[in-house]
Amino acid sequence: MRVVIIGGGAIGTSVAYHLAERGADVVLIERNAVACAASGKSGGFLALDWCDGTPVEALARRSFTLHAELAEELEGDWSYRRMTTYAGTVGYAAARTSRTARLNWVTSEVAIHSQLGSSGTTAQVHPAAFTSGMMRAAGERGAKLLLSRATGLLYRDGRVTGVCLEDGTLKGDAVVIAMGPWSMLAAGWLPLPPVYGLKGHSLVFETGASLPPEALFLEYAEQAGSMLTPEVFPRADGTTYVCGISSESPVPIDPDQVVPDDGAIDRLKALCARMSPILARSKILASQACYRPVTGDGLPLIGAIPHAQGAYVATGHSVWGILNAPATGEAMAELILDGAARTVDLLPFGPARLAALDPARVAISRRLGG
Ligand SMILES: Cc1cc2nc3c(=O)[nH]c(=O)nc-3n(C[C@H](O)[C@H](O)[C@H](O)COP(=O)(O)OP(=O)(O)OC[C@H]3O[C@@H](n4cnc5c(N)ncnc54)[C@H](O)[C@@H]3O)c2cc1C
């Protein structure tokens, strides 16, 4: 069985890996480069139980376990490690007097008021390396990577039979839409509910090996009145990732055209200098922005697409796309090859739950491209 996957982010490559592991003939189509979008620019933070009590609980728990197994079994070079995770504030005078933990790499402006996770419940990967690692492992199992832009689908008797590319066509028995926020473009090819893109900005610092595996989720009130929620993740490769400024700027059609909003990077740099003397003096390796894919009800879209036999979707993972990539890939492989997912119940994520092509939602999501 040949499965064609469109999109070389964490989701598409994880689906490719699990299908190839099961012996399917897999071709992954990526228009720019593997991990060129959010999957290369996100935090890569993983949590076992932060989705507990929501429909995503089983997916997240299975994925947290799979991340540990994949890093070991594939001898992954994506800097997987366990973290201790804290919550706190930056610059709140009252909070500074009631801190519960003292970290030696932050300024006195940072007050830690609680521990959110331990090395048993929180971890991280380098997301670009993880995504490339999944593609590499898929390739070692026979999957092929095709750099081209998908422009539509081939149909025969109401069944999807392949993908139209900017430079030809590719036949397949099943097609998986895993285009992140650009999955919205596939709503022109299929009865697919809208997917939106929410923008986030981040900096990557060259901090060296000095920072411990401590992740921070902080709150900060900017003088201009905005509330920011910076996240700080020192990584095993000697870099430190910080994100913290979101916006609703429209998603450009070409992922390579995603650039930071005016002023966002300067605001983030100023915040980093207040948070840590090490960040204040470290070289900045990347100043970047990316879009996380979100759906109308905030849950991922994973499953067979109604009224289009042979078509599947896996996107809309919002802030947990790196965490949930392995279990999504595993469940998609089961769904496509066995007819039903066994490891995780995909029912809450089925595309049929959202009103496909609801005019109001489509109008909002047509913001794609401005
Ligand atoms: C600032 C920020 C921080 C984050 N931090 C975390 C975190 O700590 N932990 C976590 O779990 N998640 C995090 N996320 C969320 C996570 O990054 C995303 O959910 C995840 O990367 C989405 O992966 P994806 O594969 O669905 O999409 P993407 O990574 O967007 O990949 C989609 C791919 O499809 C390709 N494509 C698009 N159109 C076409 C086409 N026509 N033809 C061929 N290819 C096409 C694109 O080029 C792209 O490579 C964060 C997100 C942001 C924005």
Sign of the dihedral through C-alpha 78, 81, 85, 89: negative
Q: Please check whether residue 367 is in contact with residue 250, taking contact to mean a CB–CB distance below 8 angstroms.
A: yes
* E strand or H helix at 231: strand 231-234
Whether the per-residue pLDDT at 370 is higher than 60: the answer is no
Atom nearest to 243 CA in ligand 1: 1
Q: Please check whether residue 286 is in contact with residue 260, taking contact to mean a CB–CB distance below 8 angstroms.
A: no
Distance CA 295, CA 157 (A): 29
Find the 255 Cα to ligand 1 centroid distance in Å.
Answer: 10
Judge if the beta carbon of residue 37 lies within 6 A of ligand 1: yes
Find the 161 Cα to ligand 1 centroid distance in Å.
Answer: 26
Judge if the beta carbon of residue 230 lies within 6 A of ligand 1: no
Same fold for the domain at 2-75+125-195+296-365 and the one at 83-121+197-294?
no
pTM above 0.85, yes or no: yes
> How is the chain split into domains, by residue range?
2-75+125-195+296-365, 83-121+197-294
**In this structure, which topology does domain 83-121+197-294 adopt according to CATH?**
D-Amino Acid Oxidase; Chain A, domain 2 (3.30.9)
DSSP string, 132-197: HHHHHHHHHTT-EEEE--EEEEEEETTEEEEEEETTEEEE-SEEEE--GGGHHHHTTTS----EEE
3-class secondary structure, 2: strand
Mutate to test the pocket of ligand 1, among 132, 149, 177, 182 (most ligand atoms within 8 A of CB): 182
3-class secondary structure, 275: helix
Whether the per-residue pLDDT at 366 is higher than 70: the answer is no
Compute, in degrees rounded to 10, the torsion defined by CA atoms 165, 167, 171, 177: -20
Query: Per-residue pLDDT tens for 101-138?
Result: 789 999 999 999 999 999 999 999 999 999 999 999 99
**In this structure, which topology does domain 2-75+125-195+296-365 adopt according to CATH?**
FAD/NAD(P)-binding domain (3.50.50)
Find the 237 Cα to ligand 1 centroid distance in Å.
Answer: 21
Judge if the beta carbon of residue 328 lies within 6 A of ligand 1: no
Closest CA to 210 of 240, 232, 230, 231: 240
Q: Whose CA is nearest to atom 2 of ligand 1?
A: 42
Atom nearest to 29 CA in ligand 1: 43
Whether the per-residue pLDDT at 79 is higher than 70: the answer is yes
